[in-house]
Amino acid sequence: MSDNLHSPSSRSGPFALARTLAWLRLCAIAGQSVAILSCVTLLNLDVPLLPLMIGVCVLAVFAAGASFRLGMPWKVTEGEAIVHIAADTLLLGYLLYFTGGASNPFVTLLLVPIALSAAALSIAGVSLVAILTGVAYVLLVPYHLPLPTLGNSSLDLDLYVAGMGVNFVIMAILLGVFISNLAKAIRHQQGEVQRVRERALRDEGILAIATQAAGAAHELNTPLSTMRTLLPEIRREHAADNELGDDLDLLQGQVERCRTILREMVAFGQAQLSQVPERITLGEFIHGCMERFQLLRPEAEVALDVSDDAARLRLRSPPGLRHALINLLNNAADASALNDSATVSLAIRRDDRWLELIVTDEGPGFDEFDELGTLGLSQKATGLGIGLALAEATAERLEGELAASNTGHGAQMRLRLPLSVIGDSV
């Protein structure tokens, strides 16, 4: 994704401030229109109606342009957010000029941009906004048209106090609602940063394990080749020993199996480096996974549920997807074994946008879900404890998700992947 798009992390700070200002402009247009019309029709105040309505119309045009801009795929910078604030301050100062200037009870609305920018901009940005609004206030003290009166000092005082009360309510709502929304956006950004940091640490651990595995695969090739050469000689020297011959056949099979695994590791690494996905139907993909899983866990009984329509789906299968599914099946078999069961189930679900691979076991279930996919926190007595971490990393790389839940009779893992990423449109 390009850097100029509004990523989740960019939807706080200047972007969140600009979006908040867009909503405030809509409220300001409605409130100013009602206030001007009320002064003219209900209070019969001699306010300059035409200049005020021109100011409201200009604000409406600017609001439309700013809203259109926020829908564009360009990042909102701090400078642009300050320009939005400057335009709003200028228009508010224009309206205040015709309605008493600094003596207008609504002049404190100039503090709103400072409060909003304090939650979203840098210190330099907040300082610049404070200077802009401060200059506007200072200019409104000597330069303004007098605020119209009702001709009665007591009524004028009551009207001024009422205006201050309305202004207090407006300020309380603005500061309470919009600043809390900005703070929520900032907390969301901090949460995203924390999740990215945790994923980076997990991926670093996975990379370290992958590096060690690559080195081990290279080193194991030599002793396996030596064993493969010596086994036929030992068999010839003890041809009469049938019991030893059976053991040697078993050992020969295990050596060949290890060599096959090493070749698959090399092929997987080459495919990963080439970034060329495997084009295959979902049925063929599942069949290959089942064959490999049955070799690893011949005692496991897999209940497969896949419809003919889903089996015909063509995949652009990344190399890591097969290993992710086998890891989930292997973990499910281990969990079922804890309850003296050998049964696991694999269900395939698809719709127009998503493909779901659902693995269910008959084990004791999960005690906590927060540790899902965290390296080194496996509760199993055997294994390396990284199966779920590898599967979750694969899901994230494919823009999908891995979710865990308890079924009441075991645990269920849902590997959910977008067809736009793994589906073969060719």
- Length in residues, the chain: 426
Give, in order, the Cα–Cα distances in Å from 348 to each of 7, 286, 287, 306: 31, 9, 13, 5
Q: Do 348 and 341 touch, CB atoms closer than 8 A?
A: no
Q: Report the alpha-carbon distance of residue 69 to residue 80 in Å, rounded.
A: 11
Q: Which of 329, 358, 322, 327 is nearest to 343 (CA)?
A: 329
Which token pair is 412?
């269920």
pLDDT for position 7: 43
Alpha carbon distance, N-terminus to C-terminus of the chain = 23
The label of the residue with tokens 């009469």 reads 240
Name, in order, each residue with C-beta under 8 angstroms of 207's C-beta and a sequence gap of 6 or more. none
Q: What percent of the chain has pLDDT over 70?
A: 83
Q: Is the pLDDT of residue 375 over 50?
A: no
Q: Is 252 exposed, middle or buried (0-12, 13-18, 19+ CB in 10 A)?
A: middle
pLDDT for position 131: 94
The label of the residue with tokens 């080459």 reads 270
Q: Is the pLDDT of residue 370 over 70?
A: no
The helix (H) or strand (E) run that includes residue 275 is none
Mean pLDDT of 196-218: 66
Q: pLDDT class for 161, splitting at 50, 70, 90?
A: confident
Q: Is the pLDDT of residue 12 over 80?
A: no
pLDDT for position 135: 94
Residue 98: what are its φ and ψ, rounded to 5°? Answer: -85, -5
pTM for the whole structure: 0.51
Q: Do 330 and 297 touch, CB atoms closer than 8 A?
A: yes
Which token pair is 422?
């793994």
Q: Is the pLDDT of residue 384 over 50?
A: no
Q: Report the alpha-carbon distance of residue 193 to residue 116 in Å, rounded.
A: 22
Name, in order, each residue with C-beta under 8 angstroms of 257's C-beta and a sequence gap of 6 or more. 295
pLDDT for position 58: 94
Which token pair is 221?
């090739």
Q: Regarding beta strands 301-305 and 343-350, do their DSSP bridges make them parallel or antiparallel, or are they unpaired? A: parallel
The string of pLDDT tens digits covering residues 48-81 is 889 999 999 999 999 999 999 988 888 889 999 9
Mean pLDDT of 375-379: 41
Q: Do 178 and 23 touch, CB atoms closer than 8 A?
A: yes
Mean pLDDT of 9-33: 80
Q: Which of 278, 291, 285, 288 is nearest to 312 (CA)?
A: 285
Average pLDDT, the chain: 80
Q: Do 286 and 346 touch, CB atoms closer than 8 A?
A: yes
Q: Comparing 206 with 79, which gets the higher pLDDT?
A: 79
Cβ-count burial 20-50 (b if 16+ within 10 Å, e if not) = bbbebbeebbebbbebbeebeeeeebebeee
Gyration radius from the chain CA atoms: 34
pLDDT for position 385: 52
